Amino acid sequence: MEEVISNDIFEDGNVSVIFPELQYLVLKDLPMLVSFYRQSKLIYWPKLNTVRVRNIPKMETFSTGILVTPFLRSIYVTYTKKLWFGSLNNTISYINHNPGTNH
């Protein structure tokens, strides 16, 4: 899998992606994953507060669009170790450029 949301599922170019109830997201052992969503649409996660990632070596950015995650303040890279560099995209980029981060 190269991306979680395919860009061909939205026919209307103005649609934002909203996950109104999602609080917990795990991306684990996805060696081919490049991006969660490659389009420049807004992704709104009003309740997301926990993200865990492990073994996503090709993911350089979470999404090219605007990410709204008002309650997310860190990403777990191990069971207890957390990182945060101001945004989901910045943190994923840091993890990608520092491969020893999630060991």
Residue 10 lies in a domain: no
Give me the chain's average pLDDT, please. 88
- Sheet arrangement for strand 50-54: 24-28, 50-54, 75-76, 82-83
Domain that holds residue 74: 17-102
Number of structural domains found in the chain: 1
Residue 8 domain-assigned (yes or no): no
- Helix%, strand%, coil% for the chain, nearest 5: 15, 25, 65
d(CA 38, CA 9): 12
Say whether pLDDT at 12 is over 60. Answer: no
**Torsion angles phi and psi, residue 53, rounded to 5:** -130, 145
Q: What is the pLDDT of residue 13?
A: 59
Q: What is the mean pLDDT of residues 55-60?
A: 92
pTM of this prediction? 0.85
